[in-house]
Amino acid sequence: MTAAEILFDELRYARTARGLNQDEFGRLISYSGTHVSAVETGTRPPTSDYVAAIDKALKSGGIFVRLLDRLVALDMAPVWLREWITFEKQAIALRWYEPAFVPGLLQTEAYAYATLRAGGLLTADQITQRVRSRMERQAILARDDPPDVVIVLDAAVLRRTVNDDRTLMREQLDHLASIVELSHVHIHVVPDDAGLYPGLQGGFILATLPDDTIVGHTDYQVRSQTISSSGEIATLRKTWEAVLRDALPRRPSLDLIKEAAKTWT
């Protein structure tokens, strides 16, 4: 039995031991019965908020939160338990703001390698593994039913050199320009004259799932976080709307990307 299956069994046992069906258990923890079913069958990853709701409702002393955290920390569980990758694959829409780097879904392999090497914090094997993962994630853009993707970049991203490699930057910006031609991908750039704006506090992603649930993702220095609480999602949505208002429309953004690419020749 895998670590993931153990977690499924424990979550299921927590419900059935109390004689509750999935709808009844869902009402107890403020989730739908459909959501409970999806988690118990492994088709939807249990988020930290979800297992925390179970711990609170059952007064279980935080056992499920600790179990989930340890599975992720020890990397014992399959990829689906790394919450965000699964949400990204399921998403019907992605809204991504990035003030510092080209988003992973749009990176060339060379750019990905260069950014991960920066700082010397990762081993060669770790870098190779993460680059491979980024390249695999990009497959969602080419599938038959791709998500609707809107990305906003700060203009500084177009000028920030990576390893002083002008060819690398030219190829990366040419790649951005080519991706804009995809009907389901929209890239907007916040120009320098926008001044200070809310998004400069940090990048984030919002994913809309098939059931219209919205989840968020943020990155920090030492870890990343998947966000599902309604209050935090509302804050990210307001920030997204503010960032998008400051960004240029699609065509002027493309022109700016092409102009920046020429400067790296």
pTM for this entry: 0.71
Task: Reduce the DSSP state of residue 207 to 3 states and report it.
Answer: strand
User: Measured between alpha carbons, how far is residue 53 from residues 175, 181, 214, 231, 239 in Å?
Assistant: 43, 43, 18, 15, 27
pLDDT in tens, the chain (265 residues): 556 677 788 889 999 999 999 999 999 999 999 999 988 887 777 877 889 999 999 999 999 988 887 765 554 433 444 678 888 888 999 999 999 999 999 999 999 999 888 867 778 877 887 888 888 889 999 999 999 999 999 999 999 988 889 999 999 999 999 999 899 999 999 999 888 888 888 899 999 999 999 999 987 655 568 888 899 999 999 999 999 999 999 999 999 999 999 999 8
How far apart, in whole angstroms, are the C-alpha atoms of residue 228 and residue 35?
13
DSSP 83-139: HHHHHHHH-SEEEEEESSS--GGG--HHHHHHHHHTTS-S-HHHHHHHHHHHHHHGG
Fold of the 82-263 domain = Endonuclease; Chain A (3.30.870)
Q: Does domain 3-80 have CATH number 1.10.260?
A: yes
Residue 62 dihedral angles phi and psi, to the nearest 5° = 80, 15
Neighbours of 217 (CB within 10 A): 21
Segments making up each domain of the chain, as ranges: 3-80, 82-263
